[in-house]
Structure 1
Amino acid sequence: MKSTSSTFVSHLFTGEVSGQTVNYRILRMQDSVFIYIGKKDEEVLDGLAVGLLSPYQDREAVTTSILESTESFDIAQKLAVKLNKPVFVSCNMNVDRLIAPVIESHLIQEIKERPEFF
């Protein structure tokens, strides 16, 4: 039996959001990315959404929630367009209109600084 090497690449980084440490776990797969977002000491998988580029509209994403999570839905939609690939997002914290831009900013900055993980 011939063995093959995995194409999965994982990455972890943290950021401060409203005085809380947030873990961002990235799993880059062959043609997609899984992003987990959650408080450092409370890692659970409560929400999951996937964003896919629409084949019918240029630079538009089609997004669906697999496990209910508005937070995951919005981030998956934006990152699918930014990364031009399917993006699975699990955002497991309460996100309001003040926190969402901070989380998105952390992700965008990490994408710019370490594109090999996305």
Structure 2
Amino acid sequence: MNLPEIPRNSSRQEMRKALIRLRMEMHRQELRHESRQLLQPLQRVRGMGQSFQDGLGIKHAPLWGVAAVTLLGFLTGKGAKGSGIRSASRMVRLGTTLLPLIKLIIGSARKN
């Protein structure tokens, strides 16, 4: 806390100004303290998310999650022409095609 300089032979007006400055600095400190307390749960959640991603060893985990959800949406979504057997065979064919790529990506993510 920065305390204002108070001259020895100061007038009442200067003393009042110094007192007001002290009060304003005290209020600033209180606001900083309260805002830190309010943001503490948010910081904890961010820390937990970061430690979870680090524990999995996956970089850009939210991006991978969005990509997985989008891919599942495309694969399981009902198309205009798709019947049950055709769409199932299409999913199996796509899965077998993408499996080596997925293994490659996961393997490189674990090495880093």
Q: TM-score, normalised by structure 2?
A: 0.28
Structure having the higher helix fraction is 2
Structure having the higher strand fraction is 1
